[in-house]
Amino acid sequence: MTAYTGTYFKRQIDWYQQSPEITDANQRCYARRGERFLVSSYRRPVNESPVREDNRNSRYFGNIEYPGDYWEVTFQNLPSRCSSQLNQGGQTWFVYRRHVSIR
């Protein structure tokens, strides 16, 4: 997998805020533009439904996250800044499909 642009891996799909706003380091990891990663598996998310923010008081009101816009990924290698948190217990991460190339 190669990052076309700088992008984030996220622990879950259903965030209405943008990934840079996720402040818990265990919930995201930044990938620099052009950075390459070995993946052990990837797929489109299974059994996930689109998630919409319905709270009218939220600044994200009306935002929708579509599972089909992401890859569900398990990595083999990661930058050292992320390796302690990624793949703990075989967990998968989500990455926005348009930001990466899988080859």
- Coil, strand or helix: which one is 36? strand
Q: State residue 92's pLDDT score.
A: 80
- pTM passes above 0.85: no
Give dist(CA 96, CA 73) in Å, integer.
11
Q: In the numeric block, which tokens belong to residue 31?
A: 């990938």
Assess whether pLDDT exceeds 80 at residue 2: yes
Q: How confident is the model at residue 83 (pLDDT cuts 50, 70, 90)?
A: low
**Looking at the chain, how many residues does it have?**
103
| Beta strand 39-43 pairing with 70-75 | antiparallel
Per-residue pLDDT reduced to its tens digit, 21-69: 777 777 888 888 998 888 888 999 888 888 888 889 988 888 888 888 8
Q: What is the pLDDT of residue 43?
A: 92
Secondary structure of residue 80 in the 3-state scheme = helix
